[in-house]
Amino acid sequence: MCPVKALIASRRNRKPFVTNILSSGPTPKRFAPLGPLRGTIRVPGDKSISHRSLMFGALAVGETKVSGLLEGHDVIATADALRAMGATIDRTGEGEWSIHGVGVGGLLQPKQALDMGNSGTSTRLLMGLIASHGITASFVGDASLSARPMGRVIEPLSQMGASFTSSPGGTLPLMMTGSLPAVPITYRLPVASAQVKSAVLLAGLNTPGITTVIEPVPTRDHSERMLKGFGAELTVVEVDEERHISIHGDAELSPQTITVPGDPSSAAFFIVAALITEGSDLLIENVGLNATRAGLITVLQQMGGDIELVNQREVGGEPVADLRVKHSRLTGIEVDPAIAPSMIDEFPVLFVAASLAKGRTTTSGLDELRVKESDRLAAMAAALKASGAIVEELEDGLIIEGSDGTPLRGTKDEAIITHLDHRIAMSMAVAGLASKSGVEVDDTRPIATSFPTFEELLRKASS
């Protein structure tokens, strides 16, 4: 059985996520130079859009069809949870899924705890959905997810009437009871977070009246685009340079046919790998280029990266293009903190690019990276230092002195500690391609949460 089919079969049998990924013990691996990256590849579907396709399809009445769905552990966790609350979700082919929804307000009480595995997106957005339903649900997750704070979602959803019993520090395991009817609120985001914004908007779907989120700094807007596509009454207006996003409750969603574009966060690893590997000329097809997600390309181009957007088009309301990336001599820059929300998940691999650039790269305003799957600032600072890079860790960013293209030393007798964080593992795998002796990561299993074909595509691009 292929890995994806095995994963889906195991999840349908409701085996704990920890068993699926972590029971076999760590799988360390050394990533060494493979030569130029050439040819054409296509990365898996966008994770953010995949999650939302399943969720919105589960709230529509009728059949939603999705192609190009990312079939990683995180998205499968979302599918499992929605099945547990009454939606019918079936895989009909490679990346092809059918969702028969229950309608807004139609979610059922799950009979057992919802196992979110490693997926913070699944957890926070599903908490939003449940907040305006009269049901109780328990959320559990793996060790990494259980250490991540949920207070930023709990606060606004509590204002809407939901009640929570969490572990100390506002973490999982967590039990919540939704409110029916919930109370519409106007909520100003204290930090830029698409997940918190989306959770409040999803709660507003089944809440009488108008629920509004005020966003001082723009974040990825897939929820807004897709909710409109499904028929929700949603408006976005600019007031004093802030976005006011309002959703009308008691919504009725209509089923859709969705084509998921390639995930720019997954493409990021191959973009950087091609830029820092001499002789590379790689075409990455069908990459989503939503303006709220494309910050990495802007920054890498500012650093001198040769990235050409080919065949620009729109698919399902989302801008898409093919990216032709060639090896480039990068130059360090001071990254504008205002761009951080549009590339927050891509900073770990940007740090790798900066370590090979000429001169200094300075980043700031990255407090959000402290509360991801790991403390990504501390984890990447330690990992790059162990590989021979010169890095200074700040409270809200890193300062990296680049090697001007000289390969990193690599690791010797020690493995990079990834903290079960898929993006740390893949970023340091990319660093290994531009090292003298290779970089060993302590565990590659978490990569399957977002990019199960990562190593396969790496071999294809370098063969």
pLDDT per residue as tens, the chain (463 positions)? 444 444 444 444 333 333 355 557 899 999 999 999 999 999 999 999 999 999 999 999 999 999 999 999 999 999 999 999 999 999 999 999 999 999 999 999 999 999 999 999 999 999 999 999 999 999 999 988 999 989 999 999 999 999 999 999 999 999 999 999 999 999 999 988 999 999 999 999 999 999 999 999 889 999 999 999 999 999 999 999 999 999 999 999 999 999 999 999 999 999 999 999 999 999 999 999 999 999 999 999 999 999 999 999 988 778 999 999 999 999 999 999 999 999 999 999 999 999 999 999 999 999 999 988 899 999 999 999 999 999 999 999 999 999 999 999 999 888 999 999 999 999 999 999 999 999 999 999 999 888 999 999 999 999 8
Shared-domain flag, residues 79 and 27: no
Structural domain that includes position 27? 3-45+261-462
Question: Which of the listed residues 212, 243, 258 is the one where a domain comes to its end?
Answer: 258
Q: Which of 142, 221, 322, 345 is catalytic?
A: 345
Q: Yes or no: say if 37 and 43 are a contact pair by the CB < 8 Å rule.
A: no
47 is annotated as contributing to ligand binding: yes
Q: Yes or no: say if 106 and 62 are a contact pair by the CB < 8 Å rule.
A: no
83 is annotated as contributing to ligand binding: no
Shared-domain flag, residues 215 and 182: yes
Return the residue matching tokens 């990834």. Answer: 418
Shared-domain flag, residues 110 and 167: yes
pLDDT at 23: 55
Shared-domain flag, residues 70 and 196: yes
48 is annotated as contributing to ligand binding: yes
Shared-domain flag, residues 282 and 245: no
3-class state of residue 223 by DSSP? helix
* All residues at 6 or more sequence positions from 230 whose CB lies less than 8 Å from its CB, including other chains: 56, 59, 60, 253, 254, 255, 256
Question: Which of the listed residues 225, 258, 291 is the one where a domain comes to its end?
Answer: 258
pLDDT at 198: 98
* All residues at 6 or more sequence positions from 218 whose CB lies less than 8 Å from its CB, including other chains: 192, 243, 292, 341, 342
360 is annotated as contributing to ligand binding: no
- For the domain that residue 418 is a member of, what is the CATH number? 3.65.10.10
Shared-domain flag, residues 230 and 285: no
10 is annotated as contributing to ligand binding: no
Question: Which of the listed residues 217, 233, 258 is the one where a domain comes to its end?
Answer: 258
Shared-domain flag, residues 70 and 92: yes
pLDDT at 3: 40
112 is annotated as contributing to ligand binding: no
Shared-domain flag, residues 131 and 16: no
User: Whose CA is closest to 222, among 48, 20, 444, 410?
Assistant: 48
Handedness of CA 327, 328, 332, 334 (dihedral sign): negative
d(CA 140, CA 74): 13
Shared-domain flag, residues 56 and 12: no
Shared-domain flag, residues 238 and 299: no
119 is annotated as contributing to ligand binding: no
410 is annotated as contributing to ligand binding: no
Return the residue matching tokens 């970089």. Answer: 439
Distance of CA 395 to the CA centre of its chain: 23
What order do you get walking across the sheet with 306-315 strand by strand?
A: 38-42, 281-288, 318-326, 306-315
Number of domains observed in the structure of the chain: 2
Cross-strand bridge partners of residue 288: 320
Q: Catalytic: 413?
A: no
Shared-domain flag, residues 205 and 247: yes
345 is annotated as contributing to ligand binding: yes
Shared-domain flag, residues 192 and 122: yes
Quote the pTM value. 0.85
